[in-house]
Amino acid sequence: MSLATRTRKALYAGATAALLGATLVGASAAPASAEPRDGTCNAGEFCLYYGEGQSGAVADFANSKRDYTENGSCISFRGAGKAGAGVCVQNHAKSVWNRTGATAYEFYNSNFGGTHDVIPAGTQANLNANVYNDNASHILGDASLRFPLNVTQAQIKNRSPHWCWDSKTNCHHDYNAADIFAATGTAVVSPVAGTVMTKNIRSSGVGSTVTVKDRFGRLWYFAHMHHSPAPVVSVGQHVEKGTRIGTVGTSAHALGTPAHLHLDMRVGVDERVGCSGSGCASYGFVNNQPLLRTAFLARPAS
């Protein structure tokens, strides 16, 4: 599929290019031997290839990339005389060699969203069907989530209505977000290790809210939590996966619907934009459903 027809995956605006700074792509320092994008897959690099079996031109990276643009232009494969040299990396990678020493995630969407492939350290492989010739970003490190509620699978599946745990796309009705229906008082926990950026205690409207930013620049927003007891974290606090944040609030806090946790995510921001419903559709919220679903299926069945 051509790059032009995949605008849902690309972020070519100048503002996006400006966001490719150290905060997002500096998840870990590259070893001294790594010389990113010199057309050679060196130790310490994550390398995408134009061809299967690590053949053809290569794009080598030492850090996470939220999209495959730089200074407003598409990053291309390198390798004089090799197949694919000069071709845009986005939507054209077929195989990979992960020489970073850490697990890597290759994503279908920019901003670390959508379906993905997990590439363990040291692995040489063809990309899986989720991202084969359909790749748009990657994370070098553990991008996985811990499910944000202390529940069993049965406690979610048996609720009515219930969260669309079996879907690969977010099921919020207006934009990329998850509404996970759960009993009032269910413990809300952090899905990631990161820093608490904001905390607001409210007894009405969207209820209490918290945001947590992880080391990959992903800002996670939790809403509809209870005000009494209020969220238990503090702004500036470091949290780990599973650290308790608060509790699912009452139906009043969930805007008149059955009690649920609202979760959404954006990349490269420190505050959650002040939008709701369809007004959020243009702000770049990310489809995190595949990661969330994997985390859910790791919970006890009953």
CATH number of the domain at 72, please.
Answer: 2.60.20.10
* Percent with pLDDT over 70 in the chain: 86
Can you give the pTM of this predicted structure? 0.87
108 and 132: one domain? yes
Of the three residues 140, 173, 191, the one that is the final residue of a domain is 140
Whether the CB-CB separation of 194 and 215 falls below 8 Å is answered with yes
Domain count along the chain: 2
14 and 121: one domain? yes
18 and 108: one domain? yes
Q: What is the pLDDT of residue 27?
A: 41
Task: Considering only residues 2 and 70, tell me which one the structure prediction assigns the higher pLDDT.
Answer: 70
290 and 159: one domain? yes
What is the per-residue pLDDT across 239-251, written as a single tens digit (0 to 9) for each? 999 999 999 987 5
- Give me the half-sphere count of Cα atoms (radius 13 Å) on the Cβ side of residue 56: 21
**Token code pair at residue 188:** 């809300």
**What one-character DSSP code corresponds to residue 172?**
-
What is the per-residue pLDDT across 120-129, written as a single tens digit (0 to 9) for each? 999 999 999 9
12-21, 127-136, 227-236, 256-265: which has the minimum mean pLDDT?
12-21
Q: What is the pLDDT of residue 217?
A: 98
Does 302 reside within a domain? no
Does 145 reside within a domain? no
211 and 284: one domain? yes
Q: Which of 267, 292, 31, 44 is nearest to 137 (CA)?
A: 267
* Cα dist from 275 to 84, 197, 279, whole Å: 42, 18, 6
35-44, 60-69, 100-109, 276-285: which has the minimum mean pLDDT?
35-44
Q: What CATH number does residue 157 fall under?
A: 2.70.70.10
Q: What is the pLDDT of residue 35?
A: 61
179 and 77: one domain? no
pLDDT above 50 (res 165): yes
Q: Which residue has the tokens 């995949």?
A: 6
Q: What is the pLDDT of residue 22?
A: 37
Task: Considering only residues 189 and 162, tell me which one the structure prediction assigns the higher pLDDT.
Answer: 189
93 and 178: one domain? no
250 and 287: one domain? yes
* Cα dist from 23 to 63, 66, 86, 214, 267, whole Å: 11, 11, 28, 10, 11
Kindly indicate the confidence band of residue 14, based on its pLDDT and cuts at 50, 70 and 90. very low
Of the three residues 89, 112, 140, the one that is the final residue of a domain is 140
Does 213 reside within a domain? yes
Range of the domain at 242: 153-297
Label residue 232 exposed, middle or buried (CB < 10 Å: 0-12, 13-18, 19+).
middle
pLDDT above 80 (res 110): yes
Kindly indicate the confidence band of residue 255, based on its pLDDT and cuts at 50, 70 and 90. low
Of the three residues 140, 168, 198, the one that is the final residue of a domain is 140
Q: What is the pLDDT of residue 170?
A: 83
293 and 188: one domain? yes
Q: What is the pLDDT of residue 30?
A: 41
